[in-house]
Amino acid sequence: MSTETLTADPAPVGPIARAVADGVMPGRVWMYANYHCNMACAYCLTESGPKVARRALDPETMIAVGEQARDLGFTDLGVTGGETFLMPHMPSTLVELSRRLPVVALTNGTLFGRRLLEKVEPLAECDVALQISLDRPDADVNDEMRAPDNFRKVVAAVPELVERGITVRIATTVESIDDAELDRLCALHRDLGVPDSDHIIRPIVRRGRADTRGMGLQAVQSDLPAELTITDDGAFWGPFGPTVHDDRLDTDLLVTRTTLPLETPARALLALLEGRPPGEDSTLNIR
C-alpha cells in the first residue's frame, strides 16, 4: 500500500455521492454569495443593483458548504451573486473553497483595479475559474443591456487576470446573436486570452428583471438544472431558482429553508429528483 493511499481522504459514500456518480444529481453546488451589485443589468435574475438587500452568505458558511459538499460527494462549487467581488472576503474565500473542490466564481469583471488584482493573484495557484460576463463585441450594444463602461472595464480586466495565470471564462447571455456578431465576439475573447473552450453562450431566462421586461425564455422546473443552490434564504433547485421579482424572493423553486447541514437540502433535492413523495426522508429530522 502506498503512502499516498494511506493519506488520501476516503472517497465519499452515501446516497448523494452515488447519485452524483450515477448522474442522477448534478455534481455542482452553487452559493449566492450576495445579491447586491454595482450594476443593474436589464436581464438580471435577481434584480441586483447597488441598493438592494445584500442577502449575503458569510465566509464561514460558504466554507462549511464547500466542506460538506465535498464530504457528501459533490464534485464542484459555483459562487454567484450579485457581484461577488463586492464582498471583501471573496479572494480568500475562493482560495479556501478551492482547497475543498474546484470552483467557478461569477463576476461582472468591473472591479478589478490594481488592489483587487493583487488580492486575487493567489487564485492562479488554485483550481478557481473566474467567469466574466461579456455579451457583445461592441461596447455600446453590450453596455446597453448591462451598464455604462462595462465593456471597457471587462476588456481591460480579462488580460490582466489571464496574465496573472488566473483561469478566465467568458459568459455571453443573449436572447439571440447573429453569426457575424458572434464571430467578432469570439475573436475578441481570443484576443483577450480566453480560448473557445472557456466561452459559454447561454439564453436569458425569463425570471427576475428579465420577466419584468418581457425578455428571455420561459422556463419551468424541468428545464432548469437541478444544481443544489445555497442562499441566505434557503436551498433552491438550481441557480435560476432564488430569483427576485418586484423586490420579492421567488420561492417556487425553493427546496428547503435549512442550508446546513448540507445533507438536509441535498437529500430533499435528491428525493425530488427521484420522484419520491415528500416526507419520505423525514427521519433526517429526528436528531
Please report, as ranges, the residues that interact with other proteins according to CB under 8 A: 221, 237, 250-258, 264-265, 268, 272, 277-279, 282, 285
Return the SS3 of 201: strand
Nearer of residues 6 and 286 to other proteins, judged by Cβ: 286
Nearer of residues 15 and 59 to other proteins, judged by Cβ: 15
For the bound state, the minimum distance from the C-beta of residue 165 to other proteins, rounded and expressed in Å, comes to 41
Contact by Cβ (8 Å): 44, 213 = no
In Å, how far from its chain's centre is CA 161? Answer: 19
Residue 239: cis peptide before it, omega within 30 degrees of 0: no
Nearer of residues 135 and 211 to other proteins, judged by Cβ: 211
For the bound state, the minimum distance from the C-beta of residue 285 to other proteins, rounded and expressed in Å, comes to 6
d(CA 53, CA 254): 19
Nearer of residues 200 and 284 to other proteins, judged by Cβ: 284
Contact by Cβ (8 Å): 215, 173 = no
Contact by Cβ (8 Å): 240, 227 = no
For the bound state, the minimum distance from the C-beta of residue 237 to other proteins, rounded and expressed in Å, comes to 6
Nearer of residues 92 and 256 to other proteins, judged by Cβ: 256
Residue 73 grid coordinates: 460527494
For the bound state, the minimum distance from the C-beta of residue 233 to other proteins, rounded and expressed in Å, comes to 11
For the bound state, the minimum distance from the C-beta of residue 275 to other proteins, rounded and expressed in Å, comes to 11
Nearer of residues 213 and 221 to other proteins, judged by Cβ: 221
What's the first-to-final CA gap in the chain, in angstroms? 38
Nearer of residues 184 and 257 to other proteins, judged by Cβ: 257
For the bound state, the minimum distance from the C-beta of residue 25 to other proteins, rounded and expressed in Å, comes to 14
For the bound state, the minimum distance from the C-beta of residue 251 to other proteins, rounded and expressed in Å, comes to 5
Contact by Cβ (8 Å): 178, 184 = no
The helix or strand, by DSSP H or E, that contains position 18, with its residue range, turns out to be helix 15-21
DSSP letters of 85-151? GGSTTHHHHHHHHHTTS-EEEEE-S----HHHHHHHGGGGGTTEEEEEE---SSHHHHHHHS-TTHH
Contact by Cβ (8 Å): 229, 30 = yes
